[in-house]
Amino acid sequence: MELSELIHPGMIREDSFPITMENSAIHLGSGSSRILATPWMIAFMERVSHRLLTCCLPEGFSSVGTHLDVHHLAPTPVGATIRVRVEVLSLDGNRVNFSIEAWDNLEKIGEGKHERMVIDEARFLRRVEKKMASF
């Protein structure tokens, strides 16, 4: 499989997410406010990146996150909706690099870079099973 035939710089995906109490800093324990928790913003960014690649990869392949560099720029209250946009910046072998951004209805709330590795799921799961056997 030649990834460069399936994935290329400039590919974009955007998804929106309603912010609920479950996504709040106070619920997660990462803060004391009813605002979007940073770990949830990051999870939404990873989710959209994963979804972009899932649409392009053949059966039996997936992707895993390997690196994040994110800035949470502004608070977003529970009840708002955020929009997350990811763009493929480059492809190096099985490594895919993204630009990631998030906005609420007023402003940009987050930005950064994200790296994912395309994996053969069966091979990856064999590694996981081998590791589980050692516990």
Overall pTM surpassing 0.85 (yes/no):
yes
Domains of the chain plus CATH, in order, are 3-133 (3.10.129.10)
Q: With the C-alpha atoms ordered 125, 97, 14, 79, is the resulting torsion angle positive or negative?
A: positive
pLDDT (tens digit per residue) in 74-115: 999 999 999 999 999 999 999 999 999 999 999 999 999 999
18 pLDDT higher than 90: yes
Can you give the pLDDT at residue 80? 98
- How much of the chain, in percent, has pLDDT values that exceed 70? 100
CB 124 within 8 A of CB 64: yes
61 pLDDT higher than 80: yes
Enumerate the β-bridge partners of residue 82: 17
1 pLDDT higher than 90: no
Enumerate the β-bridge partners of residue 87: 12, 99
pLDDT-derived band at 57 (thresholds 50, 70, 90) equals: very high
